[in-house]
Structure 1
Amino acid sequence: MAHRLHPVEPGFLDTAAVRHVFARDVTASPERVYRALAEDVPGWPTWFSAVTLARPFDDGARREVRLRGGVRSLETILVAKEPEVYAYRVDVTNAPGARALLEEWRLAPSGTGTRVQWTFAADGTLPFRLVLAAARPGLGRAFRDAVTALDRRLAR
């Protein structure tokens, strides 16, 4: 059953009960990475294997996202500052125990490419927080694989 989460703002990144930060360098420019994140939302499943559907609506201010395993979310874009930051919060999800969730993609020039940093910030019931803590290695692997696939896709 879907439920509404707390409407957190970007400051939640600093106060969340669970906070995972992952970073990786890619060869693509910050502008190209940003466009893939913020403007080609339907393209996410082609490089982020956990995502089965990503669909913008409300003129790009919101998104519907579906993940492998059946998790569904409705999200609001909070920050879209090209080519530096793309952040969104989950407003509604069917993930049990979630109370608040915010993700931020931060992009910075690195050599001739881009440093991609993904912050996953969440709060929820104790079982939800424990699952997310245990899921850190898997989330890191998913991020690494996704960003590597995105970089390959952008190189074509």
Structure 2
Amino acid sequence: MTDTTTKKTKLTDEQIAQRVEAARARAADKQAEARECEDALAVFTGETIEREGLTIAHFRSRTLTPFIAAQEHMGGVSVAYRHKRANTFIEIATAICRDDEVFNRKLGRQAAVDQFARGRVIRVPLYGRAAADVVAEMFDNVTISMPDHTTFVVNH
């Protein structure tokens, strides 16, 4: 029978400091790696979008609220999509702006393109239709319902 108990190891202050320093160095390496990845994705704009054959479309929310005029600039969806000629599918990546956020086309475009670059896409069949028509059918008239607390009762 083997003894499975472990001995408590007493570390000196110097050994503890070395281990802490090694852990910090590993964390710094991971952060640098993440920054490099983000920088690589940030380059995926402008000319790259055109070279990759991406099309960007923006769809605004149709908000159901008593204060429609006050909510017109809120919420929406930015879509990056690509249709390769020899394919009967389109690849779609999206960036969704919540209904309590101001919709910004530039940020939505970048977020959707970043999603595409990371491979976070869905493939949708065209069934003989144009890619723009399929995307418009999926995202046009996006409706985001407001919570119940926006319903008001007026007492006379």
Q: TM-score range by the shorter chain?
A: under 0.3
| TM-score under structure 1 length normalisation | 0.26
Structure with greater helix percent: 2
Return the index of the structure with the highest Cα Rg. Answer: 2
Structure with greater strand percent: 1
| TM-score under structure 2 length normalisation | 0.26
